[in-house]
């Protein structure tokens, strides 16, 4: 189960991993907390009045295309996008948005989803949200809550029969080692790197967690990119996401990366499989 804040997050973080496991027969569910109703239109070709007027419906349709491309199931939690507050000081968050929901209110439908889907592994963001969008931070909070609570029959008793996931991971998609490897590979290929500013920002804001788990999935990078392009309001086909050629990516960094935050099974680090320790446990 991959828990994400908005439609498009599932395609920019962990999509090739999900596509790989789907190809191996693993059942994968994306949980999308909000509808992305307050998201900006980031693709100039989609910046049209009729799209802006019905952005929630458009993003729902984009999500449907992306999940079909990835081969995953998908479930909406139904909360309202909080938007990204900008300014100094930032404005207050809008009333009724996801980030302002009480923890138990926001976590309850995720606990139900965990108990119904019964995942062994949950993917989510770290406590900073990967980046400080209030919906990403809230997604972390409810994911941690659901991981702890779903197996406890005394917590959320109205949300279904208990089920305890075994491993909780944080996405480490934009870790410094990967970005530096891609930057170097672009320069070595005589191409302009898009990552100069990224490397400076790493020095200003060190990453919180080490990478513990690198999942080989280079064969599914093309599927990831197709899923990204399905989110046409958010992804410019001529933009940043596609600057590094796929062959350069596959050679320089053929994995997607994670931090193992919690595990109820024994596993040796580093890992190359989200199900390390679980496969062994199931087989015993």
| Annotated binding-site residue numbers for Zn(2+) | 6, 9, 136
CB 55 within 8 A of CB 61: no
Token code pair at residue 227: 């899923």
Q: How far is CA 200 from CA 137, 180, 195, 203, in A?
A: 24, 11, 9, 5
Instruction: Provide the b/e sequence for 16-44 (b: ≥16 CB within 10 Å).
Output: bbbbbbbeeeeebbbbbbbbbbbbebbbe
Are 139 and 107 spatial neighbours (Cβ–Cβ below 8 Å)? no
Distance CA 88, CA 75 (A): 35
Strand 167-171 with 255-263, pairing = antiparallel
Angle at 19 between CA 16 and CA 21, to 5 degrees: 110
Q: Which residues are annotated as a binding site?
A: 6, 9, 136
Among 99, 87, 125, smallest CA distance to 38 is for 99
Beta strands in the chain (DSSP E): 2-4, 29-34, 73-79, 121-124, 167-171, 213-216, 255-263
Distance CA 257, CA 46 (A): 31
Q: Taking the CA of residue 253 as centre, how many other CA atoms within 13 Å lie in the half-sphere pointing to its CB?
A: 21
């Amino acid at each position: 189960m991959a828990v994400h804040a908005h439609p498009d997050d599932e395609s920019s973080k962990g999509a090739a991993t999900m596509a790989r496991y789907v190809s191996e027969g693993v059942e994968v569910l994306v949980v999308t907390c909000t509808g992305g109703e307050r998201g900006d239109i980031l693709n100039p070709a989609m910046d049209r009045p009729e799209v802006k007027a019905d952005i929630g419906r458009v993003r729902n349709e984009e999500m449907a295309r992306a999940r079909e491309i990835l081969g995953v199931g998908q479930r909406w939690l139904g909360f309202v996008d909080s938007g990204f507050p900008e300014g100094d000081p930032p404005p207050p968050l809008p009333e009724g948005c996801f980030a302002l929901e009480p923890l138990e209110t926001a976590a309850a439908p995720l606990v139900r989803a965990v108990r119904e889907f019964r995942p062994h592994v949950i993917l989510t963001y770290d406590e900073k949200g990967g980046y400080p969008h209030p919906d990403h931070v809230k997604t972390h909070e409810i994911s941690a809550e659901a991981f702890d609570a779903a197996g406890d029959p005394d917590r959320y008793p109205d949300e279904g029969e208990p089920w305890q996931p075994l491993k909780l991971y944080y996405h480490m998609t934009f870790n410094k080692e990967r970005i530096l490897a891609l930057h170097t590979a672009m320069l070595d290929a005589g191409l302009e790197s898009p990552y100069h500013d990224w490397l400076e920002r790493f020095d200003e804001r060190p990453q919180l967690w080490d990478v513990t788990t690198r999942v080989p999935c280079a064969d599914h990078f093309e599927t990831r990119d197709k899923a990204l392009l399905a989110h046409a309001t958010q992804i410019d086909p001529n933009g940043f996401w596609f600057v590094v050629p796929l062959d350069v990516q596959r050679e320089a960094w053929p994995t997607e990366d994670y931090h193992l935050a919690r595990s109820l099974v024994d596993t040796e680090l580093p890992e190359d499989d989200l199900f390390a320790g679980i496969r062994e446990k199931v087989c015993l």
